[in-house]
Each structure stands twice: as structure tokens, then as C-alpha cells.
A and B are shown apart, each in its own frame.
Chain A
Amino acid sequence: MTAVQAVALVAVALGGTAVVFARDPARQALVSSVFGISLAVLFLAFQAPDVALSQVVVGAVALPAMIMLTLRKIIRREEVDRGER
């Protein structure tokens, strides 16, 4: 195992743990985006550039975007609710 792989593996393990313990979803979306990038680095280290590219576009862009939009939709609804009551 190369040093890069070892470092990336440890980063991924820590990143995954951080995602789980980020209990606030908005912050979690950011943490998971960083986690996504650390996974992509690991995949590069494992000589899988195709997967790394997919992981960057999905894990670091598409997924956090979906999470943020979901939260936005929910928060908007809560605002409307509060305004009504």
C-alpha cells in the first residue's frame, strides 16, 4: 500500500464518521461534500479515475445540491406555517 492510499483511507474513515456525527443537516451537507471529495481522492489513489470523476460530480455536487434544495423546501414550509399561525 502506498502512503497516499493509507492517508486517503484514514481521511475517508474520519470523514465518514464526521458525516454521521454532523447532526445538523445543513452542516452535514457540507461535511458530506468534503467526504465525497476525500472518497474521490481515494479512488484516484486506487487507480480508478472514472469512478473518481463520477464521485466528484455525484458526491460533491449533485448530492449536496439535492440535500440543500430539500432543506430549503422544508424550511420554506416552516416559515409559511409560522406566518399563518
Chain B
Amino acid sequence: MSFLPYGVAAWLLLIGLYGIVTSRNLVHLIVCLTVVQSSTYVLLLAIGYRSGGTAPIFADIPSSRRVVDPIVATLTLTDVVVEATVAALLLALAVQAHRRFGTLDPNEMGALRG
């Protein structure tokens, strides 16, 4: 059972990549990319979790209390922001792609060959 979170992280990575490879719509593809990214959140937070620990915020818990790792939370916070930014840029590119090609289907683009 203790492998479950890591298994879920691996699953999200693979299923998201599957979605990207099979996607017929750029917007769909971009959302699949956020699924891939959510794999890293799950992995990081699962790594930093400590049984019985609470959040490392000492507003109303004694300082001797067992807490979970604060670093992974910091790393994941950064990660969440990165997700939003990359998605925004990609969506802007998708809008332009639709303007150029009249479609969002990667199969019907193809300005670049060889």
C-alpha cells in the first residue's frame, strides 16, 4: 500500500503522455500536459510526508510536534506556478495556431517537414 502514491504519480505521468501523443486537439493536448505535471506534485508531496505529521506551521501547534517536510511544499508551490505560466503561453500559441491553420488538430498542420 505504501507504494500507492508513487504508483499514482507514475500513472499520471504515463496517462498524460498518452493523451499528448494521441491528442487531436491542441487545447486538449495542453491540458494533458498539466496532467503530466500534476504527477510531479503528487510525487514530491508524497516523498515529504511523514506519518502522523502535521503541516509545518507553528501558529497553534507546539514546536516539538512532528511535522511534514516544508521543502517539498516550497518546491511544489513553485511547480504549480510554473504549470500555470507554461499553460498560458501554450494556450496563446494554440490561438495563433488556429489563426494560421484554421484548425487545432496537429494532424492537419504541417508547415515543417524534413
B3 to chain A, nearest CB (A): 10
**Given A50-B77, A58-B80 in contact, is the A63-B12 Cβ separation under 8 Å?**
no
- The verdict on A51 contacting chain B, using a C-beta distance below 8 Å, is yes
Pair A19/B31 contact, Cβ less than 8 Å:
yes
Query: Could you tell me how many residues of chain A have their Cβ less than 8 Å away from some Cβ of chain B?
Result: 42
**Given A32-B31, A49-B55 in contact, is the A25-B25 Cβ separation under 8 Å?**
yes
Pair B76/A48 contact, Cβ less than 8 Å:
yes
**Can you list, as one digit per residue, whether each of A46-85 has a CB less than 8 Å from chain B (1) or not (0)?**
1111110011001100110011001101100100010000
Give residues 19-45 of A contacting B (CB, 8 Å). Answer: 19-23, 25, 28-29, 32, 35, 39, 42-43
| 30 CB-based A-B contacts, threshold 8 Å | A1-B5, A12-B8, A12-B38, A16-B11, A16-B35, A16-B38, A17-B11, A19-B19, A19-B31, A19-B32, A20-B18, A25-B27, A28-B28, A29-B31, A32-B31, A32-B34, A39-B42, A42-B42, A43-B45, A46-B68, A47-B67, A48-B48, A48-B68, A51-B41, A58-B81, A67-B27, A70-B95, A73-B95, A77-B98, A77-B99
**Hey, which bits of chain B sit against chain A, CB under 8 A?**
1-2, 4-5, 8, 11-12, 15-16, 18-19, 24-25, 27-28, 30-32, 34-35, 38, 41-42, 45-46, 48-49, 53-55, 57, 67-68, 72-73, 76-77, 80-81, 83-84, 87-88, 91, 94-95, 98-99, 102, 104
